[in-house]
Amino acid sequence: MPEIARLGQVSAQQTQRRGTPPSSLRARLRDDARLQSPGWILLPLRAFLGVTFVYAGLSKILDPHYLDSGSPLGVHAQMVHAATASPIGWLVSVSADHATFTGLAIAFGELAAGAGVLLGLLTRLAALGGMLLALSFFLTVSWTTTPYYYGADIVFAFAWTPLLLAGDGSVYSLGAAIRARVREELHLTPQPTARETLAARDAVERRVLLRSGALAGLIGGVTVLGGTAIALVRRTSTGATLTPTPASSPAGTGQPGEDDGSSTPSASSAGSGGVIAAASEVAVGAAKSFTAADGSPAYLLHPSADSFVAFSAVCTHQGCPVSFVGPGFRCPCHGASYDGSGQVTGGPARSPLAKIPVRVVGGNVVRG
Ligand code: FES
């Protein structure tokens, strides 16, 4: 700071000669120095991680498949699959036996970590939570990704480290606001001074911790109660709508689970033997997405004039939905690829896409 002050005096004298008030220059130098503090430097990273983890947590809570233990897109299926290759497979297997609890803990953990750094409330603790979550994802979901840097989780784990070390630097921080209030109540100066006793500092830290914890507990409690209710209701309602209906059910009833947006009835609304598409609707070499009987995404392919095949669009690596990129499939999550017969051609997946039996009846492609 003495250098800055000296610089301020020299520049002030120079600029005074040019007519600029020295106080404005000093203010600018102070602003420059402030913007170079860790709190401001880490602000973009903090915002990105906060928004991303809040988004990830909310996506899980609002995903109707997430807690559905029968869905290949659910957290249970993902954990069972991850356990086979993870170095902490035994722990993942135990967690899979309590998939609902584990799934909610993951979702709310992401929400808490994201909200904590966004609000600047117990920021270091939130960063530690975010780092541990990212590390656990790296050891499970991303473990078989090669090369390792294709998986985002290892990057997230390291991205949390600066926030764990430096905190929020009192920039846009609820914790800093609480600390300022406590110091005021204790009749202390806004910033600690050299003459301040250890006992006074301890009193401040104790009160800040208690109030921050109480506020975090209040926000967390309301979020957990509301989020759990939403997640369980979403799972229950999905379980009802995903139950295959009899083959005689009217097609195209608009039930949830029909995702291809076409007027053609999907398998989910028609059950086994239901119409997936009119044979003429899918050109040779093209594909049509539909919803399988269990509510998961699937693709119908028309590889040659007289044949149709269908595959589950659930990636066998970690359950992300794959896209048809003719003539094969590609998973956006970790880059697995499959050929037109569902066989793995690249990436971390080791098993082929699940085949769905189909046949042509009366000009329609039906399941079965
Ligand atoms: Fe990992 Fe598809 S889920 S590659």
* pLDDT, tens digit (0-9, with 9 covering 90-100), for 97-151: 899 999 999 999 999 999 999 999 999 999 999 999 999 999 988 887 777 887 8
- Please work out whether the CB of residue 320 comes within 6 Å of at least one atom of ligand 1: yes
Q: Which two tokens stand for residue 217?
A: 């507990």
Q: Say which residue, 313 or 16, is predicted with more confidence.
A: 313
- Please work out whether the CB of residue 82 comes within 6 Å of at least one atom of ligand 1: no
Name all contacts of 80-86 with Cβ < 8 Å and 24+ positions apart.
81/316, 81/317, 81/318, 81/319, 82/140, 82/141, 82/143, 82/318, 83/140, 85/143, 85/144, 86/139, 86/140, 86/143
Number of residues that this document lists for the chain:
368
- Please work out whether the CB of residue 73 comes within 6 Å of at least one atom of ligand 1: no
**d(CA 278, ligand 1 centre) in Å:** 31
The residue nearest atom 1 of ligand 1, judged by CA position, is: 334
The region of weakest confidence among 51-55, 77-81, 238-242 is 238-242
The model's confidence at residue 11, banded by pLDDT at 50, 70 and 90, is: very low
Atom of ligand 1 nearest to the CA of 334: 4
Residue 20: what pLDDT?
57
HSE, side-chain direction, 13 A CA sphere, residue 81 = 24
Decide if pLDDT at 246 tops 50.
no
Task: Give the containing element (helix H, strand E) for 111.
Answer: helix 99-119
Tell me the three-class secondary structure of 27-45, residue by residue: HHHHHHHHHCCHHHHCHHH
**d(CA 144, ligand 1 centre) in Å:** 10
The span from the CA of 222 to the CA of 60, in Å, is: 17
Closest by CA position to 293, among listed 60, 76, 72: 72
- Please work out whether the CB of residue 298 comes within 6 Å of at least one atom of ligand 1: no
- Please work out whether the CB of residue 331 comes within 6 Å of at least one atom of ligand 1: yes
155: left (phi over 0), alpha (psi -120 to 50) or beta: alpha
- Please work out whether the CB of residue 144 comes within 6 Å of at least one atom of ligand 1: no
Residue 293: what pLDDT?
83
**What is the number of other CB atoms lying within 10 angstroms of the CB of residue 347?**
20
Closest by CA position to 49, among listed 202, 145, 177, 152: 152
The span from the CA of 40 to the CA of 171, in Å, is: 7
Over residues 21-73, the pLDDT tens digits come to 577 777 777 777 777 888 999 999 999 999 999 999 998 888 887 888 777 67
Tell me how far the alpha carbon of residue 330 is from its chain's centroid: 20
The span from the CA of 54 to the CA of 26, in Å, is: 39
Decide if pLDDT at 334 tops 80.
no
Closest by CA position to 45, among listed 162, 123, 131, 205: 162
Residue 50: what pLDDT?
97
**Alpha-carbon distances of 292 from 112, 196, 227, 252, 363, rounded to whole Å:** 34, 68, 28, 14, 20
**d(CA 316, ligand 1 centre) in Å:** 7
The span from the CA of 161 to the CA of 114, in Å, is: 14
| Dihedral sign of CA atoms 213, 219, 225, 227 in order | negative
Decide if pLDDT at 159 tops 60.
yes
- Please work out whether the CB of residue 334 comes within 6 Å of at least one atom of ligand 1: yes
Buried b or exposed e, range 116-145, using 16+ CB within 10 angstroms: bbbbbbbbbbbbbbbbebbbbbbbbbbbbb
Q: What is the pTM of this model?
A: 0.64
Tell me what the mean pLDDT of segment 324-350 comes to. Answer: 86
- Please work out whether the CB of residue 265 comes within 6 Å of at least one atom of ligand 1: no
Mutate to test the pocket of ligand 1, among 75, 320, 338 (most ligand atoms within 8 A of CB): 320
Q: Work out the percent of the chain whose per-residue pLDDT is above 70.
A: 83
Residue 9: what pLDDT?
47
Decide if pLDDT at 172 tops 90.
yes
Bridge partners (DSSP) of residue 23 are: none
- Please work out whether the CB of residue 267 comes within 6 Å of at least one atom of ligand 1: no
318: left (phi over 0), alpha (psi -120 to 50) or beta: alpha
Residue 271: what pLDDT?
46
Tell me what the mean pLDDT of segment 9-22 comes to. Answer: 52
Q: Say which residue, 230 or 160, is predicted with more confidence.
A: 160
- Please work out whether the CB of residue 292 comes within 6 Å of at least one atom of ligand 1: no
- Please work out whether the CB of residue 314 comes within 6 Å of at least one atom of ligand 1: no
User: CA dihedral in degrees (220, 224, 227, 229; nearest 10)?
Assistant: -150
Residue 68 is classified by DSSP as -
Atom of ligand 1 nearest to the CA of 141: 1
**d(CA 151, ligand 1 centre) in Å:** 10
Residue 31: what pLDDT?
76
Decide if pLDDT at 268 tops 80.
no
Bridge partners (DSSP) of residue 323 are: 330
The residue nearest atom 3 of ligand 1, judged by CA position, is: 318
The span from the CA of 87 to the CA of 79, in Å, is: 13
Mutate to test the pocket of ligand 1, among 148, 314, 315 (most ligand atoms within 8 A of CB): 315
> CA angle at residue 230 from 229 to 234, to 5 degrees?
120
The span from the CA of 188 to the CA of 182, in Å, is: 9
Q: Tokens 């609707």, residue?
A: 281
